Structure 1
């Protein structure tokens, strides 16, 4: 069995059997391609069916020289998944990464913004320009609904259920969830939708896309990053901010106001509650206040 053939089959498996998004599939395939590149560079002619744990271990050693622990762990996980697929399809009897441990990595706490900082960033949007209303609506939606940037740019008019107070969000692996939307966010979207968007020359295939660029097409992830970067520089905020920062802030502020983790998990679209638990990083004073308020021995 050749590497390219196994990669093609694995790609179909990830898409059809596991229902992963294109981004996730690309990342899994890239992990395997790194191993293939290493084999080619070192003139090691061996198939995915017969490659040994020793050769894979040598590859991991080389990887460790150039990437951090988090990236190294990601590659090991991706390769382990690939070889598990080969076992599943009866191409192999064992996984060459079975005895290879991932490096221990500390759990990185997400960067967050204070409510005042979010207000400052959104207030810096220039509403005298047509794209200003769009940008304000986008940022309010990112923060107000805790969306990923990919979920934001893929949001459709048909996903807006304002009378019911929800929007339908398509997340990782094309999994859909309904997220509550507050009146303020609905209002900003409606201003953009009915005062700005209706005057846009919408391109074919983008009629249902909510947030459009000046050419009437769906915005790119890079464009959203650029918009936020320019606003942060405009107000002189010395923090590394990305669209994901608004999502982190959404979860953190809910938690600080005593929302339960299970509700936050559902709104963020996390499969596991352990992913959501990363937001439990409140300061000691807040935790002290929670104990004083709710503990029966207070």
Structure 2
């Protein structure tokens, strides 16, 4: 495991000179903004006892994961700006990949848990307190974090023993696409090549199926309820739908193998697009929930302006 990985897109920024300090400052500002915005909503939820409801407790999983994912990516990227070689050892590369794989799975699991919560609240309102009691919410929270860890370990167990002949990754960081590491291997089996499919099925297909079923049932109920109830359902579900849509749009672009289209997109353009995707989702989540859920909006205003 002594191989060193070269993050080749950074080489396109090798001659930026003093501009690296500007780029570093911008990235540091974005990183701190993402952490502060997500942490602020989490803090408001825990400080305001009126927000100690299943919906907001489950939201904390999503917000905490945004901080986790951002911390996994940004510090390494910023350190690479001051590196002359843009290299990272294989163990560190695997660690970053494991963390990012776990973060991606937690994102989908959190959205699935929140969709289930909205299904219970809208479709079974009289039984909500029984079905979403403290024990049930605690169990869901444990599953949201443990299932992704198990998923990641299972997927990586298929490639961790590979021997590597290459050492160049066409990315700004060691991302969670296992096929990128497989391309560096001297030889791979069919089972190794199936690792990405297994990860995608467990990370995307299973949680998205739960989300789809939940929102289909919510839609059926909303079509047969009053205008007021329908409006309330739309208000609470809109942030989750927007977050899910943004996540899928990001995955569509990010999952594209840009290295195969190197003639159509330069390293700088490719790197800029990746940076935009890294900024979009973590910033979108606290903004959508902080400004669209009435209870959180009111708590934020009280916390910021009405404290004595």
How would you bin the TM-score normalised by the shorter chain? under 0.3
Q: TM-score, normalised by structure 2?
A: 0.23
Tell me which of the two structures has the higher relative contact order, counting C-alpha pairs closer than 8 angstroms and 6 or more residues apart. 2
Q: Which has the higher helix share?
A: 2
Larger radius of gyration: 1
> Structure 1-normalised TM-score?
0.23
